[in-house]
Amino acid sequence: MAQRWFVTGVAGGLGQALATALLDRGDIVVGTARRVAEAEAFARSRPGAAHGIALDLDDHARIAAAVEQAMALAGGGIDVVVNNAGRSLFAPVEETPLDDAKALFATNLFGPMAVMQAFLPHVRRQGRGTFVTISSGCGLMGVPGLGAYCASKFALEGLCETLAIEMAGFGGRMMLVEPGAVRTRFISHGTAEVGARGGHYGTLDGGKDLLDAYYQDKAMAPEAVAAAILAALDGGDPPPRLVLGDDTRPGARAKFQALADMLAD
């Protein structure tokens, strides 16, 4: 039976790869994109199965109406909500303007929060529903130059962990996806760069070029990440966390093991 999905950020990258995989297997996808032309192009890609909504996640006041529109386009219900859209910021913590950090949180934390708030009454009414939240390895570990981005993902993970507990009683499920580098345009197009780079942090003076080089060596294909997400969901109860990537799993394992050792009797 075809499932009905709501996926933010389908114009490119992981959102596009996931939406394509879902459509290929016969599911229905309501996807959002920031620009009208991108939303319309997505809808034209699979008439009748793909539906596009132009939505800027920074426009929190419009999200509830977009969710109602998505429910109608999908035939009255959504089975899985994927909070995928986001952006990043490269700068040492010292040189990160607070206004830029606040804007990052508006997209990466409060946008997904507003989406979840809008869908929760429907999940409660249906007695089921799954939220898939695309976090990052940066939601598990700090990364130099990405302090504000890491902070926004740490906050997002705390929100999702709490919501998973709150909605368990009425059938809601949550899966956090924590990939490492993914081969998309996220660095070139989704990451702003600020700060004077005045020599205080020599290892960061390469700016976004450092990230570009890292992604060339470590990045996973977005299609592989999409396949891993679907395999986890299709296997029954999704894991609370899906940590992906050889660049993320060892660090995550070491961090959680260190915490376990600290708490051991």
Is 149 annotated as catalytic?
Answer: yes
Phi, psi (5° rounding) for residue 144? -55, 135
Task: Indicate the SS3 state at residue 225.
Answer: helix
| Residue 8 contacts residue 54 (beta carbons within 8 Å) | no
The Cα 231–Cα 224 span in angstroms is: 10
The one-letter amino acid code at 69 reads Q
| Residue 27 contacts residue 18 (beta carbons within 8 Å) | no
Beta-strand ranges (E) seen in 197-256 are 241-244
The Cα 155–Cα 105 span in angstroms is: 9
Task: Indicate the SS3 state at residue 144.
Answer: coil
The Cα 53–Cα 78 span in angstroms is: 15
The one-letter amino acid code at 196 reads A
The residue annotated as part of the active site, out of 149, 201, 214, 215, is 149
- Which residues are annotated as catalytic? 149
